[in-house]
Structure 1
Amino acid sequence: MGTISSRARADGSIGYTAQIRLKERGVVVFTEARTFDRRPAAQAWLDKRERELAQPGARESVKQEDPPLGDVIDRYIRESKRDLGRTKKQVLGAIKAAPIGELRCSQLKSQSYVTFAQNLEVQPQTVENYLSHLSPVVTIARPAWGYPIDEKEFADARVVLKRLGQVGKSKQRDRRPTADELDRILRHYADMEQRERAEIPMQKIIVFAMFSTRRQEEITTIEWRDYERDRVLVRDMKHPGQKVGNDTWCDLPTEAARVIEAMPKGSGPIFPFNHRSISASFTRACSFLAIEDLHFHDLRHEGTSRLFEMGLNIPHVAAVTGHRTWNSLKRYTHLRQTGDRWAKWKWLDIIAPLQEHS
């Protein structure tokens, strides 16, 4: 009645899915599955459920498939052909582990979702992210698998949470680094290099990030073969509907190209470092220097706004940043002047001196 199958996950670990299927006259009338990190745990759950279903009247009560929400989440992850991404899997895993994950489909009411959201004790935009990741699971559960989830209950819960102000979109940041802040940060890393305490060439990476408008995870994936002086190939560029295989050629401002030319030549990544280490180093530097509320991603914001301030039109800016729509691009535009505020910037000459090409 029950089987256990193993499957490699995206992170390289192995998941063990225990599945029970009940048939009547050759037709499946009930299926239930759970995924575990260890085979013995999967076997223990399988044995327990088989004993429960062997009890008198148990099969009659489960003929209509009505699994817990946690099982529905498992099936969604297991059967999805899309790369769901690390963040979405983590969020769905948290929902599965919460009390709501133990409720069966028919038990899920608007109050269930509202209670779950209120117990998260996080910012409204984070609650919105949780519900957005759960939404496709609720939406397809009934039409795809026949599970008795009422989509209207979920929709009602979102209305309630919105009216209570407990969900909301992320606030758009307008933070841009000042010339003084970048000067202090780059001098900080210069001091670290002099003391031989710098493992990552943060000066070059910071300057490249600002002028290229590239995200930190994109910077570390660009290889020498992807560089053509006036453009670079950004692999798996972030995109809400296509997280893998979205390779995009982006125009490269001359200042960013100068930084690349100043890097040691090789055959692999131009910046062969972990993007999380880059972000963590930048955060530590800002904390040490008492620079408040400045994120590494704000360098992309600065670089994008700079291009508009220099007079580039929307298509030209998008060719550099990789944005596909004006709605996604305009959140980075907080113009403060006209012209190039970084023209003749001393740090560019220090970090990436001009080179003559034959």
Structure 2
Amino acid sequence: MRRDGKPSYLCQIARKKDGKTVRENRTFRDHKTAKAWLRQREAELDNPKAFKAATQEIRTLGDAIGRYVEEHGGEIGKTKSACLAAIQRHSIAGMACGDVGSEDIVAFARTIHTVTGLAAPGPATINNYLSHLASVFAIAQKAWGYPLDQEAMSDATFVLRKQQTIAKSKQRSRRPSLDELDSLLAYFQERTERAPHSAPMVDIILFAVFSTRRMEEITRIRWADFEPAGKQAARVLVRDMKNPGAKKGNDIWCELPAEAATVIERQPKTGEMIFPYTVDAIGSAFTRTCKVLAIEDLHFHDLRHEGVSWLFEAGWNIPHVALVSGHRSWASLQRYAQLRQKDDKFAGWKWRPAL
């Protein structure tokens, strides 16, 4: 019986041959699937090679994670890679795949802070780690024969959600005020005057706001990806745009508001990239400066939210905003539906790129 009151079926296999024993167990939600797995696994163990492999190799959860990263590393993002690397440092990674039960996953979720460096990760953060771990559970048995139990992961998730240990991320609504933007841009302008070769954070911040582009996307834009305005609005090819269904090769042409196009056009053509700087350099500079200026709880990604909000407040409709932001689903933009046209927030603003 599972914790939600529904039945579960435990299958156990024990085979002995030439003094060696193979013991395996799996749980299933329905009796038919349990019997099918039992027949299939017994038939597999009748094969001498399969029996030998089962007795010689004890795969750990860490092995499964390592193989997942090895085979899918080019498809997963930086955040997921970092989460899986942290899980490999946890004691659960040393457990044999067949021994990992729902109680072990629950215990892992409650002690994940020991490997993340976060004193008290919130429910949304823990949920992200569980989600990435679930990706490994989803294919380990089917792809490699590693006996990770998807039912155990499902049951653990059910318990953790009921106990509010995990939860989906709340949508942020943080927008920078004009005073905060003024402080940031004045600080970075002074830095550029002192260190001309540092990243042009003034233009990077302005471009992030008026183009609605993410930090990672900004660092990937080439001069060849930019088409200035002609008969149609300026546009830019956004490479590998974030999309749950496609981590790589998701290249989308996005319209550029005139302010964003102006920022690009005033950049020096010193190489292939328009903004030849790393995500780490830009992110660190932004975060560090917010601390210096005592600007609380402002993330670089909030600049994208600001830009999208500004477009709606300027009277743009959902399809037009989507052409700029790159949202594939208009439903993702419904959160902005309450915004109504009002005075342009950036009208007369001294930092607004001259058109």
Match of 2:219 in 1: 220
Residues 1:204 and 1:148: Cα distance change in structure 2 (over 3 Å): closer
Change over 3 Å in CA distance of 1:336–1:284 after alignment to 2: farther
Tell me the equivalent position of 2:279.
Answer: 275
Alignment: residue pair count: 299
Distance 1:259 1:65 in 2: 58
* Higher mean displacement: 97-106 or 124-133: 97-106
Question: 1:226 deviation in Å?
Answer: 0.8
Q: Which amino acid aligns with 2:63?
A: D
Partner of 1:116: 108
How far apart are residue 274 of structure 1 and its match? Answer: 1.4
1:48 maps to: none
2-side partners of 1:141 and 1:25: how far apart? 21
For the aligned residues, what is the CA RMSD? Answer: 2.4
Contact 2:97 2:146 in 1 (8 A): yes
Partner amino acid for 1:93?
A: A
Q: Aligned equivalents of 2:188 and 2:69: distance in 1?
A: 43
- Report the alpha carbon displacement of residue 192 of structure 1 after superposing the two structures with TM: 2.4
Q: Work out the CA distance in 2 between the residues paired with 1:65 and 1:189.
A: 57
* Alignment partners' CA distance in 1, 2:195 and 2:250: 38
1:269-324 CA distance string (max 9 Å, x none): 11111122112112222212111111111111100001111111111111101111
State yes or no: 1:29 paired with 2:51: yes
5+ unaligned residues in a row in structure 1: which ranges? 1-22, 32-61
Shift of 1:225: 0.9
In structure 1, distance between residues paired with 2:145 and 2:222: 47
Deviation (angstroms), 1:201: 1.2
Matched residue SS, 2:132: helix
- Shift, 1:29, TM fit: 3.2
- Code of the residue aligned with 1:85 in structure 2: it is G
Compared with structure 1, are the counterparts of its residues 265 and 115 closer, same or farther at alpha carbon in structure 2 (3 Å cutoff)? same
Shift of the alpha carbon at 1:251? 0.2
Contact 1:92 1:134 in 2 (8 A): yes
TM alignment of 1:131-142, pairs within 5 A: 131-142=130-141
Of 239, 243, 250 in structure 2, the residue corresponding to residue 239 of structure 1 is 243
Q: Give matches, 1:161-172, under 5 Å.
A: 161-172=160-171
Q: 2:329 aligns with which of 325, 329, 334?
A: 325
Between stretches 310-319 and 90-99, larger displacement belongs to: 90-99
Once the two structures are TM-superposed, the CA of residue 328 in structure 1 deviates from its matched residue by 3.1
Range 250-259 or range 71-80, more displaced: 71-80
Query: Contact (CA 8 Å) 1:224, 1:266: kept in 2 or not?
Result: no
> Aligned AA for 1:297?
H
Tell me the SS of whatever aligns to 1:249.
Answer: strand
Matched, 1:86 2:69: no
- For residue 65 of structure 1, report the CA deviation from its aligned partner: 6.1
Instruction: Tell me by how many angstroms 1:158 deviates.
Output: 0.7
Q: Determine the structure 1 residue equivalent to 2:88.
A: 96
Counterparts of 2:267 and 2:313, CA distance in 1: 28
SS in structure 1 opposite 2:315? coil
Q: TM-score, normalised by structure 2?
A: 0.77
Task: Give the TM-score taking structure 1 as reference length.
Answer: 0.77
Inter-partner Cα distance in structure 1 for 2:238 and 2:127: 29
Contact 1:113 / 1:154 at 8 angstroms: preserved in 2? yes
| Displacement after TM superposition at 1:267 (Å) | 4.6
Q: In 2, distance between residues paired with 1:160 and 1:276?
A: 37
Unaligned runs of 5+ in 2: 1-44, 114-120, 229-233
Residue 71 of structure 1 pairs with residue 70 of structure 2: no
Q: Say whether residues 1:340 and 2:344 are aligned partners.
A: yes
Please state whether the residue corresponding to 2:253 is helix, strand or coil: strand
CA distance in 1, matches of 2:95, 2:124: 25
